[in-house]
Amino acid sequence: MTPEKETAAIVLDCRDQGESDKIVTFFCQQVGRLSGIAKGAKRSKQRFVNKLELFSSLHLTYSLPRHGSLAFIVAAELQSSFLNLRKNIALYNAATVIREFMLIGISEKERDDRIFEILFWALQSLDEKRPHLSIVVIFLIRFFEYIGYRPDLSHCLHCSRPVSAQGRYGFNYTTGCLICAACSSQGFQTIIPLSPGTIKLLTTVQHQPLDRLHRLQFSTLALEESLNMLHRFGRQLFQRDIHSWEALRREGK
């Protein structure tokens, strides 16, 4: 084992291992995605109790093995359990979508503090009972950018004309780019309609600092278009269904 290390961490997954242990997956500041074993966590009444719940924000002490991949979880100090988002089904479903994207989009040891910051921001925002669908949209726009798939919302991919407020556009979810109405009439199948107002709002999400994102107001149309686009883009990117999406949309109505 290496010397003990400490980091801020958020619990993304936790499952039982054998009679008494738990395997926990975290996303950590400066460390990225980290999986570790919490010895005795199933039985221990003190050391880990109520700390390894999904979404909890922790101060984690761990050490790394010389061989193998699982870290050894030495201690976990609870920073916030984000209690409000556990008490409300819509908030919880939004957090669950965010968690699913984190788990399928980020590999072990992959690290980026911008992802840690937007993840923490999103969970905290849900805990503050802010509009949950807007939080999902903002999280996903930034998340796709940080994993290297930033939606290009500045111009039409085919004719290169910049977006105008009078134009009509669609998002091509196989390329991650916009197509204008004139170009799409030439036949592109994989297009989600996006109005200029939604494009402008999403572009603002890409550029604003985190502490100003709560000022953005999403209309019903902007939310619908954004969620539709991000869902299809995610499914295309990861080549699989987003299992938690249906519950998010059901509760969001």
Give residues in contact with Zn ion (CB under 5 A): 156, 158-159, 180, 183
The structure tokens 């903002």 sit at 138
C-beta of 149: minimal distance to Zn ion in Å? 21
Cβ distance to Zn ion smaller for residue 40 or 167: 167
Minimum distance between the CB of residue 201 and Zn ion, rounded to whole angstroms? 21
State how far the Cα of 246 lies from the Cα of 29, in Å rounded to an integer. Answer: 30
Q: Which amino acid is at 176?
A: G
Cβ partners under 8 Å of residue 64, min gap 6? 1, 2, 5, 71, 72
Q: How far is the CB of 120 from Zn ion (least distance, A)?
A: 38
Q: How many CB atoms lie within 10 A of CB 17?
A: 15
Name 25's bridge partners: 13, 35
What's the closest the beta carbon of residue 16 comes to Zn ion, in angstroms? 53
- CA dist., res. 134 & res. 126, Å (int): 10
Q: What angle do CA 179, 185, 187 make, to 5 degrees?
A: 85
Shortest Cβ distance from residue 155 to Zn ion (Å)? 8
**Between residues 185 and 217, which has the closer beta carbon with respect to Zn ion?**
185
CA-wise closest residue to 153 among 115, 204, 112, 110: 204
Q: Tell the smallest beta-carbon distance from residue 152 to Zn ion (Å).
A: 13
**DSSP β-ladder status, 5-17 and 21-28:** antiparallel
Euclidean distance between CA atoms 17 and 32, whole angstroms: 22
The residue (of 131 and 176) whose beta carbon lies closer to Zn ion is 176
Question: Which tokens sit at 154?
Answer: 């500045």
Torsions phi, psi for 170 (to 5 deg): -135, 155
Collapsing DSSP to helix, strand or coil, 86 comes out as helix
Rounded to the nearest whole angstrom, what is the least distance from the CB of residue 183 to Zn ion in the complex?
3
Question: Nearest to residue 198, comparing CAs of 173, 235, 230, 175?
Answer: 230
Using the minimum distance from each CB to Zn ion, give the nearer residue, 133 or 156: 156
